[in-house]
Structure formats: structure tokens, C-alpha cells
Amino acid sequence: MTHAVPGRPRLGAVARKIGGHLGRGLAMIWVVATISFVIIREIPGDPVLGQYESLIQKGMSPEQAERATAVLYGFLPTGNLWQQYVGYMGSLLHLDLGRSLSTPGVEVTTLIGHAARWTVLPVLAGTLLSFLLGVTMGVYAAIKRSGKLGDVLALSGSLLHGVPVYVIGLLLTAIFATLWPIMPSGGPVDVEFVPGFNAGYIGSLVHHAVLPVVTYTLASYGGWILAMKSNVVAVLGDDFILAAELRGLRRGFVFRYLARNAILPLFTILALSIGMLFGGSIFIEEIFNYPGLGLLLVNSISSRDYALMGGTFLVITVGIVVANIAADLLYTAIDPRVRSGGAA
Amino acid sequence: MTAHTAARHTAAPGVRIRDLTVVYKTPAGELPAVRGVDLALAPGTITGVVGESGSGKSTLALSLLNAVQPPGRIAAGSVEIDGLGDVLTLRGEDLRRTRGRQVGYVFQAAQNSLNPLKTIGKQLLDLGRSHDVEDLRGLVRDAKDLLARMGMDGARVLDSYQHELSGGMRQRVGIMLALVLNAKVVVLDEPTTALDMITQATILRIIREVHEERALTTLVITHDVGAVAEVADSLAVMYGGRVVEHGPVTEVLGSARHPYTQGLIRAIPRLSGDLSLARALPGRPPTLGTLPTQGCVFRERCERRMEVCETDEPMSVTQDGRTVACHAADRHLTLVKRKEEFV
């Protein structure tokens, strides 16, 4: 490019933009970490101090109890709030989220890492599958909106959108695991296979993932198809689509103009829901007995495992913050109007 | 490229619209937006079509590309273009190839006629590929030439997105896209609406120049009588879906015969002279639902209304190259015609 087009950003501007996003993201994570520290510290009954005192009651010396508690939570149970806060932040910087109470001795990061695998697989697959399916069907529903096919598609969207995910999950389990048992009723994988890259293990993995993935897909498909349909209908009414037809553009081109413009707003939602997946899907994990992040969070709450709770919250936060940044950058990449920083 | 240059020197085609009727589906049944329109565009001329909102002028323009949008439907008539035949019988791929390649269309609100997510250059290439242009470099060169003719930096414009261009620039891009494939018939639907006066004048000058240079047959739709006076050779006045008067632009504007045309001209404010001399036409233009089904469509607002206007629809009468559909304007002729019918 030999000439500078006004409003087109240069490399420096892009770097500045990314830097700004990262800075804001870090600030947000810091705020959430602080809030989660304050909550755990100030929750009625003070679990940290309680832990410390119960250890003393068990016969530990105060020094031992203090050290044991510090290992659990990442900061000293005694001292003033400020000192504790500095200690907590310090261990956070070392990615030390403390140790779990309910699974004694295991680091929170290890537990979260294990659980994340079982969440990312089915929820990510379900999100992407429902997105592709919903968007494709949404386009058809919009184009055929005055016909039978359009009505049926739109109705399927509204219906599935209205049914809660646990109803879908329970129905599928009842049908495919009980009435007609072709699918495993729960668990992430059969125990007889050796974990690793072998056909038996992966086959079992996929087999177990089918029902959760299908459940998740059906549950979120409705939202996608309805959103895509209304976007396509809106873009169809835009002048440039008719203009493209009047210029004799091939159907393929017109369709691409239509689809790209209609799908644009959905990318933000997609990026955000991928961020949300670190929260897991509590109902699906519960129904299919998937040891994912959602289940981990629920269990940490019911067993008052505060360190684990705080760690899980933090991971969810980071996931959402990163997804937000990704959504913004993605938008910048695909929408030239955002890229140059000004709407027409 | 040679094909392009050769095409530039072929004669302009004539366009004949015959008995065109376009109906729109409404809860009250199918109502005509354009009814029984006969209009011939002489080869190599610019024909202006003026009328108020809802007079059917945009529908008429879309009919030239057989592109009336649902719930509208072309119910009768033909649009014959030299070398193409009746456009209204074209379907599918034949119709698509005609659009853009043979008949260029500059969209009403051309400011919004571009895909916001693609640069103008990429959209130009899409257009070229859609019409099997083999020499895409030549196409880009032609586009740059056209843009330069219209006073723009072609390379810069092709590298821009729609939102980086002003309204006047987008309009010119719309005109470029309609001309770049060397269409010989060009339809401009409200090409200067929503533009400021200076840009308007520039666009009109460009239309005139390119029209002459490329030997086109051009149809300009507008509600701006002043704009049409500047560019058009002949002028058709539409009211209630009918062409009520048609003739050379100087004659129609200089000595209007139809009371509606006269009213329109009286309503134009003059730059010099008293503003109060401009008088608005009394009443409102009819909508699809309020169009009278018999008699003259204009009689409600007409100061020369007669008894016959209530019952008989005035026929189009052509005399000395001018066509008028009015009982009052050509009472004598009509009477003679009616007497003949009774014999």
C-alpha cells in the first residue's frame, strides 16, 4: 500500500489495541481475585480461621497449624487482612491456588486441570456443533420463512429453546440408556481401557460423550437458530442485497454477502459462550456423571472447600475475560467498520 | 479489453414498454401500482420519469430488470430491449446475466447499495466473476478510469470500504458498478436523492457526460423536476401508476398539457422572484388503496375536472410527438374518438 487510507490502522495501533485489551483483562481478573479473597476471608464463620483453630484443637502447635492453613489457602490465617491479601496475591502470581480440603493434599490447580478436560471436550463440541447447526438452519428458516420448512424450523428452535437442558438430558438418558440401552448412562469413559492414544480408549471416550454432547447441542441450538433467522431476515431487507441481485451477482456471491453480514453479531455470542464453558454445564455433568468443572464447583460448595471454590471461580473469570478479549479482537478482524474505529 | 472497447461503439438500444401492469398483493386484494403503461425510450436518449411518492416510478424502474419484489408481481405487458427481446420473459440464469451486463441499475439510496464488509475492489471482482469477465485486470482498469472521470482517486476508492466513503462518493461508486460492464441500458432510480446541491449537480453532469460518451439509453427516475430538466431529453410524468404525459423535456416543461404536470411546475420554487409564487398542488397523492377504480386517477385534485372524468378513464393520445392522457387537455380529439366508437 503506497498511500495511507484514513482510518485504516497501522501495526502500532493494532498492538496498542491488543495491549489495552490485555491491560483491562488483567485489571478485571485482579478485581475478581480480590473480591473472591474478601468473600472467603469475610464469609460468616471465617473458614480460614476456623481451619486454623480446628487444627489447633486437633493438637497441632499454633505454628504448625498456621503453616498447614497457609498451604491450604495460600495465605497466613493470622495477621491483619492486608498482610493476608499480599500473601494471597503473591501465591496467585505463582499460579498457586492453594490446596483442596475435600480431597486432602491435592492442589487446587491439579483438580481444576483434571476437571477442565472433561468439561472442555463435551461443552466445546456441543457449543460448536449447535452453532454450526443453528446458524445453517437459521439461514434456511429465514429464506424459507413463508413456507412450511421455515415454519417447522422456527418452531423447532422455539421449542428446544424453551425446554430446560436437564429435561432434554433426562429424556435422552431415559430413551438411549434405559429403554433402548445403546449408550452408556454416565461417566466419561469405560474403566477397562488404558488411558492413552489407543482406539479402545478413544472409542469409549467418544461413545460416552455422545449423549452429553447431543444434550448440550439440542439445548443451545434453539438460541442459535432463532438469532440467526432474525439476523438473516434483517439483512435480507438491506438495500445492498437487492442491489447485488440487480447487478446480476451469482447466487453464491449474494448468499455469501447475506450470510457474512448476518453471522457477524453471532460471533461475539459464540466467543462468550466458549468463555462460559469453563463454568461447565452443571446439569449435564450431574446427569451424565461427568467430572467436569461444573460438578467440581458444586461439590466444592457443598463440602465448603473454600480454596477450591475460589480457584474455580477464578478460572471461570479468566475464561470469560479471555473470551471477551478474543471476541473484541475477532470482531476487529472480521468487521472493517470496527477496525477503523468509526461507524458509517 | 478489446471486447469492451468494441462494445462501446455499438449503437444504443431502444426500449419499448408496452401495456405494463404491476400489481401488489394487499389485504384488499391485488392492487395495481403501475397500470397499462406504454413508454418508449428512444435509442441514445435520456428519459426522465417524475412523479410523487407512490406514483409507481420505482416499480416501473424495477420492471426494466424484471425485478419487481414480492408482494409485487408483473401482471401484464412487455419490456422489449433491442438485442435482448422481452425482458419480462427472462428467467433464472438468463435474467441474472442480463442484469448488470446488459441493463445497469443505479439503486435508489445507492449509498446503501454496497456490502459493508468488503472493499469496493473486491465487490467489483465479484461482479466481474459473476459475469464471466476474463480480463479482471482490464475490468479494474475500466473501473479506475470511470472513477477518475467522476473526479475520484480510483485506486483509493477500490481499496476502501463503504463506510470510508461519503454519500456522494458511494453514489458515484454505484454508478461505476452499473457502467463498468458496459451495459447499454442504464436505469437510475433517484440518483441524487439525499445528496447536497453541489454533489447533486456533479452527479447529474456525470450522468449526462457518460451517457453521451458511451451512447447509452438511460432512464432517470426522480421526484425532482429541476434535476430532470437538467439531464433528460424527454420527460414522462407519472401519477397513480399511469404515465399521464410524455414528450420532449423542453416542451413538457414549457407548455405542459396535463393539469397535473402544470400543477407540478407551478409548485417549483424559483430562485429569483417571489417564493409565494410557488403553489403546492392541493390534496394528496393517492395510495394503492385509495386509487379510484374508474375514471381519471387525478380528478380528485384536478381544477379542470369534468363530468366525463368521473366515469371514463382518459386514453393516451399522441400528437406531434407528445402524449397526454387527459379529457380536458384534448377534449376535441377524445370526442372525435368517442363518436367513432358509437358509429
ipTM for the complex shown? 0.83
Residue B49 pLDDT exceeds 90: yes
Of the candidates A3, A248, A334, which has its C-beta nearest B130's C-beta? A248
Residue B5: its pLDDT value, please? 43
Best of B101, B164, B166, B187 to mutate (most A CBs within 10 Å, chain A): B164
pLDDT per position as a tens digit, B56-67: 888 999 999 998
Residues in chain B with CB shorter than 8 Å from the CB of A264 are 117
Residue A4: its pLDDT value, please? 43
Residue B337: its pLDDT value, please? 53
- For residue A229, the distance in angstroms to the closest alpha carbon of chain B comes to 19
Is A336 in Cβ contact with B163 (below 8 Å)? yes
Using CA atoms, how far apart are residues B164 and B174, in angstroms rounded to an integer?
15
Is B163 in Cβ contact with A342 (below 8 Å)? yes
Residues in chain B with CB shorter than 8 Å from the CB of A257 are 115, 117-118
Residue A2: its pLDDT value, please? 42
Q: Do residue A239 and residue A297 come from a single domain?
A: yes
Q: Identify the helix (H) or strand (E) that includes residue B107.
A: none
Q: Do residue A193 and residue A51 come from a single domain?
A: no
Q: Confidence class of residue B2 from pLDDT cuts 50, 70 and 90?
A: very low
pLDDT averaged over every residue in chain B:
85
Per-residue buried b or exposed e for A165-186, using 16+ beta carbons within 10 Å of the residue's own CB? bbebbeebbeebbeeeeebbeb
Q: Cell 452408556 appears where? A: A184
Range of the domain at A77: 11-93
Q: Do residue A232 and residue A129 come from a single domain?
A: yes
Q: Do residue A117 and residue A41 come from a single domain?
A: no
Residues in chain B with CB shorter than 8 Å from the CB of A145 are none
pLDDT per position as a tens digit, A239-279: 899 999 999 999 999 999 998 899 888 888 888 888 877 77
3-state secondary structure string across A207-218: HHHHHHHHHHHH
Q: Cβ–Cβ contacts within 10 Å for residue B241, how many? A: 27
List residues bridging with B22 in a β-sheet: B34, B74
Q: Pick the residue with more confidence: B282 or A293?
A: A293
CA nearest neighbour of A246 among B128, B98, B99, B71: B99
Residue A225: its pLDDT value, please? 92
How many domains would you assign to chain A?
Answer: 2
Q: Do residue A161 and residue A297 come from a single domain?
A: yes
Best of B120, B126, B129 to mutate (most A CBs within 10 Å, chain A): B126
Q: Looking at chain B, which residue has its C-alpha nearest residue A342? A: B163
Q: Pick the residue with more confidence: B154 or B108?
A: B154
Is B164 in Cβ contact with A247 (below 8 Å)? no
Of the candidates A247, A334, A335, which has its C-beta nearest B127's C-beta? A247
Residue B140: its pLDDT value, please? 95
Residue B331: its pLDDT value, please? 58
pLDDT per position as a tens digit, A34-86: 888 887 777 766 667 777 777 888 888 888 887 777 777 666 666 677 887 88
Residue B224 pLDDT exceeds 70: yes
Please report the number of interchain residue pairs, chain A to chain B, with beta-carbon separation below 8 angstroms. 93
Q: Do residue A21 and residue A155 come from a single domain?
A: no
Residue A185: its pLDDT value, please? 74
Residue-wise DSSP of B60-74: HHHHTTT-PPTTEEE
The CATH number linked to A334 is 1.10.3720.10
User: Model pTM greater than 0.80?
Assistant: no
Residue A201: its pLDDT value, please? 82
Residue B295 pLDDT exceeds 50: yes
Residue B338: its pLDDT value, please? 53
Q: Looking at chain A, which residue has its C-alpha nearest residue B108? A: A239
Q: Do residue A76 and residue A132 come from a single domain?
A: no
Residue B314 pLDDT exceeds 80: yes
Contact B78, B15 (CB under 8 A): no
Residues in chain A with CB shorter than 8 Å from the CB of B129 are 250, 253
Within-domain flag for A5: no
Q: Is B4 on the interface with A (CB under 8 A)?
A: no
Best of A5, A144, A246 to mutate (most B CBs within 10 Å, chain B): A246
Residues in chain A with CB shorter than 8 Å from the CB of B115 are 240, 244, 257, 261
Q: Please compute the mean of the pLDDT values over residues A308-332 and round it to a whole number.
A: 84
The fraction of chain A above a pLDDT of 90, given in percent, is: 13
Are β-strands B322-324 and B242-248 bridged in parallel, bridged antiparallel, or unpaired?
antiparallel
Within-domain flag for A103: no
Contact A138, A341 (CB under 8 A): no
Is A344 in Cβ contact with B163 (below 8 Å)? yes
Residue B342: its pLDDT value, please? 54
Residue-wise DSSP of A138-149: HHHHHHTTTSHH
Q: Confidence class of residue A190 from pLDDT cuts 50, 70 and 90?
A: confident
Using CA atoms, how far apart are residues B105 and A186, in angstroms rounded to an integer?
62
Q: Please compute the mean of the pLDDT values over residues B314-343 and round it to a whole number.
A: 69
Q: Please compute the mean of the pLDDT values over residues B316-331 and round it to a whole number.
A: 81
Using DSSP's 3-state secondary structure scheme, residue A107 falls into strand
- For residue A334, the distance in angstroms to the closest alpha carbon of chain B comes to 8
Q: Pick the residue with more confidence: B333 or B202?
A: B202
Q: Do residue A243 and residue A322 come from a single domain?
A: yes
Using CA atoms, how far apart are residues A154 and A160, in angstroms rounded to an integer?
10
Question: In residues, how long is chain A?
Answer: 344
Sign of the CA dihedral A282, A287, A291, A292?
A: negative
Residue A120: its pLDDT value, please? 81
Q: Please compute the mean of the pLDDT values over residues B151-180 and round it to a whole number.
A: 90
Is A257 in Cβ contact with B130 (below 8 Å)? no
pLDDT per position as a tens digit, B76-88: 999 999 988 898 9
Is B116 in Cβ contact with A337 (below 8 Å)? yes
CA nearest neighbour of A248 among B100, B93, B188: B100
Question: In residues, how long is chain B?
Answer: 343
Q: Do residue A206 and residue A282 come from a single domain?
A: yes
Domain final position from A61, A93, A125:
A93
The fraction of chain A above a pLDDT of 70, given in percent, is: 91
Within-domain flag for A3: no
Residues in chain A with CB shorter than 8 Å from the CB of B164 are 5-7, 340
| CATH class of segment(s) B2-102+183-342 | alpha beta
Q: Identify the helix (H) or strand (E) that includes residue A22.
A: helix A11-42
Within-domain flag for A334: yes
Within-domain flag for A344: no
Residue B130 pLDDT exceeds 90: yes
Q: Please compute the mean of the pLDDT values over residues B253-261 and round it to a whole number.
A: 87
Q: Do residue A33 and residue A150 come from a single domain?
A: no
Which of these ranges, A229-238, B150-159, B287-296, has the smallest mean pLDDT? B287-296
- For residue A156, the distance in angstroms to the closest alpha carbon of chain B comes to 27
Radius of gyration of chain A (CA): 25
Q: Confidence class of residue B275 from pLDDT cuts 50, 70 and 90?
A: low
Residue A342: its pLDDT value, please? 42
